[in-house]
Amino acid sequence: MRAGKPHLYINLEESSLPGWDLHRKGELAENLMRWYKENKREFPWRIGGIRSEWEALVTAFLLRKTKAETVAKYYGKMLSDLSTPERALELGVEGLSELLKPLGLHKTRARQLYELAKAIREGIGGKLPGVGPYTLSLVRCLCFGEPVPVVDANVVRVISRVYGVKDRREIESILAEEVRAAGTCELNLALMDFAALVCKARKPLCNECPLSAACSTFSPHSF
């Protein structure tokens, strides 16, 4: 499955919900999931597309600090060349670096992936190298469909803008509550798509935004 072309068919009159209550749990989730049904991006690693924990870990490593559209272009080849931890070890750091070059940060990524493959092959218990909270929750979401919050910079930006909060802990707690209320980790994917297509880092499309009625940062002069 290849990445589909993102599209926006938002009808402001139908999608804005004047008066929705930010403080009612599940409100953000409800509105975002409605938007997501119409606008979600298709990527091969999304729910149902991941076949093993190793595949989910590799996917999370590839997606780090990299646009999903860029990863999608090389995903098939990279995944097939990295089908098992043993394959990654056979390639070695040099080979991994060459393979991962199109994504950038290849030297760091190659070293980390090599260390991860080594730790898995050697059966080292405890914390896996390079696997922090973000990677762990993304793996739990993509591989097991667990409704856990996946906190990345884009998700933080959206929650912070909508609720007008800056404190990281507060943002994480809002996200955790909304994911719980949604009962699905797909809310994370909805937020990622929403951050990429509407609530962009620069020039957010506030005039096309289904959350504009309640957003504390809404700007009618946005693009």
* C-alpha span between 66 and 103 (Å, rounded): 7
CB of 157 to ligand SF4, least distance (A): 8
CB of 203 to ligand SF4, least distance (A): 9
Identify the three-state secondary structure at position 126: coil
* Choices 78-86, 120-128, 178-186, 197-205 (CB under 6 A): range interacting with ligand SF4: 197-205
**Binding of ligand SF4 by 159 (CB under 6 A):** no
Instruction: Give the containing element (helix H, strand E) for 75.
Output: helix 68-81
CB of 32 to ligand SF4, least distance (A): 10
Count of chain residues binding ligand SF4 (CB under 6 A) = 14
What values do phi and psi take at 59, rounded to 5? Answer: -60, -45
| Given 57, 171, 174, 198, the residue binding ligand SF4 (CB under 6 A) | 198
Nearest to 128 by CA among 53, 46, 66, 49: 53
**Binding of ligand SF4 by 215 (CB under 6 A):** yes
Count of beta carbons in the 10 Å neighbourhood of residue 65: 11
CB of 180 to ligand SF4, least distance (A): 21
Tell me which amino acid residue 73 is. Answer: K
Q: In the structure encoding, which two tokens stand for residue 89, read together?
A: 């070890």
**Binding of ligand SF4 by 20 (CB under 6 A):** no
* Choices 48-56, 145-153, 163-171, 200-208 (CB under 6 A): range interacting with ligand SF4: 200-208
Rg (the chain; Cα; Å): 19
Q: In the structure encoding, which two tokens stand for residue 10, read together?
A: 């938002």
Closest to ligand SF4 by CB, 105 or 205: 205
- Say if residues 55 and 42 touch (Cβ distance below 8 Å): no
* Choices 57-65, 96-104, 109-117, 202-210 (CB under 6 A): range interacting with ligand SF4: 202-210
Closest to ligand SF4 by CB, 151 or 162: 162
**Binding of ligand SF4 by 190 (CB under 6 A):** no
**Binding of ligand SF4 by 211 (CB under 6 A):** yes
Interface positions with ligand SF4 (CB under 6 A): 161-162, 198-199, 204-206, 209, 211-212, 215, 217-218, 222
